């Protein structure tokens, strides 16, 4: 067997610890601090502008971490705004859930009406209110910003940095990448596991050879890279990303051949020209590239392919439970063949994802006993090592 591929590391890795006291990381008292120092200060991904296709489009986004409901709206002026989903009269939940398109929102309690830019338009029986300034009773805004097509929020009273600063080196490297996509699947799961464990399950490729041996048997690695080392692992200040190695020896099964005939090859796909991709995707321009994994610390892990992305968004419910939202996005299908082809690949990825989820509750239960405090992490798990360093720096107020 040939010598295996060595990973190319970019960024500072010398100080990333190889042993982590995970039992301490998942403790309830630790989570109480994280909630305020990480989750309330970080820029957090909540969706895409494609979820708001027209003026007046909106969706409700509930955040269990803060028992908070948000209303995300595209106004008549085309601007995307995020508000607390709270009626300014007596605090009723303004929209009960879901998504749609409205020029205004009417509270079902006493009928107050708000424009889709948040302004209070109508107070029913207004003359009975004394000293009531309508202009001061608009919906309560949440700090938000759009990067490419991605919508982020910040729940601090005043964000300590801009979204551009938060994203750092990622900021200018994905222009155009998200635009020609449509959502092809979405589901959510509540797992009885701490958010760190849930994020960690999706940011290393070491497990793929074993956990996914049935569902994704030969997508990655191959003769020249039997251990499936990541060809490129990049550690940024808050975030990180790596490329997964496509397997040039992969034998395509019949279903894959048919799906590739009628649509675009999604997973595995490594025999295409990466030069059309923005510089952030397959940043090292590895010639056997399969896809990238990017952690947008703390709440989003994104798998990025040639014509698709899979987004896993995390919201802690408490120290031992996490809400996980999974969304698959792919190229816009032009005909039935492409739709069927996308569906085939989507189903394959779904099965792999379920295997990843299936490890979490057992780890949580085991680590909660305190019988084993530390985990040991390899160089292939460098992203996890970095994740805990970023957490510690945020807890310490450094980031
Ligand atoms: S609580 Fe909304 S109108 Fe009264
Ligand atoms: Fe996996």
Q: How would DSSP label each residue in 80-142?
A: EEEEESB-TTT--BSS-SSEEE-SEEE-TTT--EEETTS-EEE-TTGGGSSS--GGG-SPPB-
Radius of gyration of the chain (CA): 23
d(C-alpha 322, C-alpha 126), whole Å: 43
Of 91-95, 202-206, 209-213, 247-251, the one with minimum mean pLDDT is: 247-251
Q: Is the pLDDT of residue 98 over 90?
A: yes
What pLDDT band is residue 67 in, cutting at 50, 70 and 90? very high
Is 2.102.10.10 the CATH number for 43-159? yes
Ligand 2 centroid to Cα of residue 206, in Å, is 9
d(C-alpha 196, C-alpha 185), whole Å: 24
DSSP letter at 269?
-
Among protein residues, the one whose CA lies closest to atom 1 of ligand 1: 90
DSSP letter at 11?
S
DSSP letter at 36?
I
Contact 342, 333 (CB under 8 A): yes
> Could you check whether 8-41+181-395 and 43-159 share the same CATH topology?
no
DSSP letter at 216?
S
pTM of the predicted model as reported, rounded to 2 decimal places: 0.96
Angstrom CA distances, 275 to 265, 287, 296, stand at: 17, 11, 24
d(C-alpha 239, C-alpha 197), whole Å: 17
Residues 6 or more apart whose Cβ sits within 8 Å of residue 143: 82, 153, 154, 155, 156, 158, 159
Q: Is 164 left (phi over 0), alpha (psi -120 to 50) or beta?
A: alpha
Q: What is the mean pLDDT of residues 229-238?
A: 97
Q: Tell me, rounded to whole angstroms, the distance of Cα 135 from its chain centroid.
A: 36
Ligand 2 centroid to Cα of residue 321, in Å, is 20
Angstrom CA distances, 231 to 26, 44, 262, stand at: 31, 28, 30
CA-based nearest residue to 197, from 25, 317, 354: 25
Among protein residues, the one whose CA lies closest to atom 3 of ligand 1: 110
Contact 40, 393 (CB under 8 A): no
- Percent of the chain beyond pLDDT 70? 99
In ligand 1, which atom is closest to the CA atom of 87?
A: 2
pLDDT of residue 138: 98
Q: Is the pLDDT of residue 295 over 90?
A: yes
Beta pairing, strands 80-84 & 104-106: unpaired
Question: Quick one: CATH architecture of 8-41+181-395?
Answer: Alpha-Beta Complex (3.90)
Q: Is the pLDDT of residue 1 over 70?
A: no
d(C-alpha 346, C-alpha 212), whole Å: 16
What pLDDT band is residue 293 in, cutting at 50, 70 and 90? very high
What pLDDT band is residue 3 in, cutting at 50, 70 and 90? low
Ligand 2 centroid to Cα of residue 159, in Å, is 33
Ligand 1 centroid to Cα of residue 120, in Å, is 12
In ligand 1, which atom is closest to the CA atom of 107?
A: 2
Q: Is the pLDDT of residue 193 over 60?
A: yes
In ligand 1, which atom is closest to the CA atom of 92?
A: 1
pLDDT of residue 270: 73
In ligand 1, which atom is closest to the CA atom of 90?
A: 1
d(C-alpha 258, C-alpha 251), whole Å: 13
Q: Is the pLDDT of residue 271 over 90?
A: no
Q: Which of 69, 85, 86, 87 to mutate to test the pocket of ligand 1 (most atoms within 8 A of CB)?
A: 87
Contact 85, 70 (CB under 8 A): yes
SS3 54: coil
Q: Is 381 left (phi over 0), alpha (psi -120 to 50) or beta?
A: alpha
Residues, beta carbon < 5 Å, ion ligand 2 = 356
- In this structure, the number of other CB atoms found within 10 A of the CB of residue 29 comes to 8
Ligand 1 centroid to Cα of residue 110, in Å, is 5
pLDDT of residue 167: 98
- Give the model confidence (pLDDT) of 44-65 as tens digits: 999 999 999 999 999 999 999 9
Average pLDDT over the chain reads 95
Q: What is the mean pLDDT of residues 152-169?
A: 98
pLDDT of residue 13: 97
- Give the model confidence (pLDDT) of 297-346 as tens digits: 999 999 999 999 999 999 999 999 999 999 999 999 999 999 999 999 98
> Domains of the chain: which residue ranges?
8-41+181-395, 43-159
Straight-line distance from the first to the last Cα atom of the chain, in angstroms, rounded to the nearest whole number: 45
- Give the model confidence (pLDDT) of 348-387 as tens digits: 888 999 999 999 999 999 999 999 999 999 999 999 999 9
Beta pairing, strands 300-304 & 308-318: antiparallel
CA-based nearest residue to 202, from 235, 170, 237, 240: 240
Q: Which of 94, 109, 132, 137 to mutate to test the pocket of ligand 1 (most atoms within 8 A of CB)?
A: 109
Q: Which of 90, 93, 108, 132 to mutate to test the pocket of ligand 1 (most atoms within 8 A of CB)?
A: 90
For every residue of 217-238, which 3-state class applies, written as one string? CCCECCCCCCCCCCCEEEECCC
Q: Please write down the long-range contacts of 126-134, taking CB distance under 8 Å and 24 or more positions apart.
A: none
Angstrom CA distances, 184 to 180, 190, 264, stand at: 13, 21, 14
SS3 198: helix
Q: What is the mean pLDDT of residues 146-156?
A: 98
Q: In what order do the strands lie in the sheet with 120-122?
A: 104-106, 113-115, 120-122
- Percent of the chain beyond pLDDT 90? 89
10 Å CB burial of residue 228 (0-12, 13-18, 19+) is buried
Using CB distances shorter than 6 Å, the residues near ligand 1 are: 87, 89-90, 92, 107, 109-112
Q: What is the mean pLDDT of residues 146-162?
A: 98
């Amino acid at each position: 067997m040939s010598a295996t591929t060595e990973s190319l590391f970019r960024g500072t890795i010398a100080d990333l610890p190889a042993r982590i006291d995970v039992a301490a990381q998942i403790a309830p008292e630790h989570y109480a601090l994280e909630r305020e120092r990480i989750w309330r200060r970080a820029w957090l991904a909540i969706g895409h502008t494609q979820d708001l296709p027209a003026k007046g489009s909106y969706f409700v986004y509930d955040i269990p971490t803060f028992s908070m409901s948000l209303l995300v709206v595209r106004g008549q002026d085309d601007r995307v705004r995020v508000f607390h989903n709270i009626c300014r009269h007596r605090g009723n939940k303004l929209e009960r859930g879901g998504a749609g398109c409205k020029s205004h929102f009417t509270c079902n309690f006493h009928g107050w009406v708000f424009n889709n830019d948040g302004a209070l338009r109508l107070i029913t029986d207004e003359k009975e209110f004394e000293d009531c300034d309508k202009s001061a009773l608009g919906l309560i805004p949440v700090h938000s910003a759009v990067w490419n097509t991605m919508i982020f929020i910040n729940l601090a009273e005043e964000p300590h940095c801009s979204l551009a600063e938060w994203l750092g080196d990622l900021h200018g490297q994905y222009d155009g990448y998200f635009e020609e996509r449509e959502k092809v699947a979405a589901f959510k799961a509540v797992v009885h596991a701490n958010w760190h464990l849930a994020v960690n399950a999706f940011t290393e490729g070491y497990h793929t050879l074993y956990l996914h041996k049935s569902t994704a048997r030969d997508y990655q690695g191959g003769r020249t890279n039997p251990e499936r080392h990541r060809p490129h692992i990049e550690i940024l200040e808050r975030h990180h990303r790596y490329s997964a190695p496509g397997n040039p020896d992969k034998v395509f099964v019949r279903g894959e051949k048919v799906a590739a005939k009628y649509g675009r090859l999604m997973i595995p796909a490594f025999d295409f020209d990466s030069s059309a991709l923005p510089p952030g995707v397959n940043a090292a321009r590895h010639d056997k590239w399969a896809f990238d994994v990017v952690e947008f610390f703390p709440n989003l892990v994104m798998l990025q392919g040639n014509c698709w992305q899979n987004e896993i968004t995390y919201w802690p419910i408490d120290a031992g439970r996490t809400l996980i939202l999974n969304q698959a996005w792919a190229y816009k299908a032009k005909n039935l063949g492409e739709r069927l082809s996308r569906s085939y690949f989507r189903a394959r990825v779904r099965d792999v994802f379920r295997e990843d989820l299936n490890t979490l509750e057992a780890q949580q239960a085991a680590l909660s006993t305190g019988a084993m405090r530390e985990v040991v992490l390899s160089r292939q798990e460098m992203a996890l090592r970095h994740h805990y360093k970023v957490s510690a720096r945020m807890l310490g107020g450094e980031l």
